[in-house]
């Protein structure tokens, strides 16, 4: 299970991420949120590592990428969706905050 955490108000995000991590959820995050989580010792993967594309426009554009949207929008019960994800090297994302 993977969660994408990207918040402007970071109140409570560390505690929430700790709870997710304790449940075995893999954490993905963007810029400032990823830095905060990493600084608190949480294992986190920056979205830019997943997309192979940097944040731009002062952080306004960071998750607009097929590897993010495909992972979020794929319907897991449809074999053709899962096959398309596999074909394009996209992993599912189960939770978005």
pLDDT digits (tens, 9 = 90+) for 17-67: 999 999 999 999 988 899 999 999 999 999 888 877 667 676 666 666 778
Reported pTM: 0.86
pLDDT digits (tens, 9 = 90+) for 65-74: 778 888 988 9
What are the residues whose beta carbons fall under 8 Å from the beta carbon of 68, sequence distance 6 or more?
A: 4, 47, 50, 51, 93
Q: What tokens does 52 get? A: 């192979």
The CATH code belonging to domain 2-96 is 3.40.50.1380
Percentages of the chain per state (helix, strand, coil), in multiples of 5? 40, 15, 40
How do the domains of the chain map onto residue ranges? 2-96
Cβ atoms of 66 and 41 within 8 Å: the answer is no
């Amino acid at each position: 299970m993977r969660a994408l955490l990207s918040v402007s108000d970071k109140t409570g995000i560390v505690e929430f991420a700790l709870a997710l991590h304790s449940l075995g959820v893999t954490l993905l995050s963007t810029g400032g949120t990823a830095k905060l989580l990493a600084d608190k010792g949480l294992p986190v993967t920056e979205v830019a590592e997943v997309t192979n594309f940097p944040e731009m426009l002062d952080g306004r554009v960071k998750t607009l990428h097929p590897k993010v949207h495909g992972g979020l929008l794929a319907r897991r019960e449809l074999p053709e969706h899962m096959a398309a994800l596999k074909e394009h090297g996209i992993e599912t994302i189960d939770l978005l905050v």
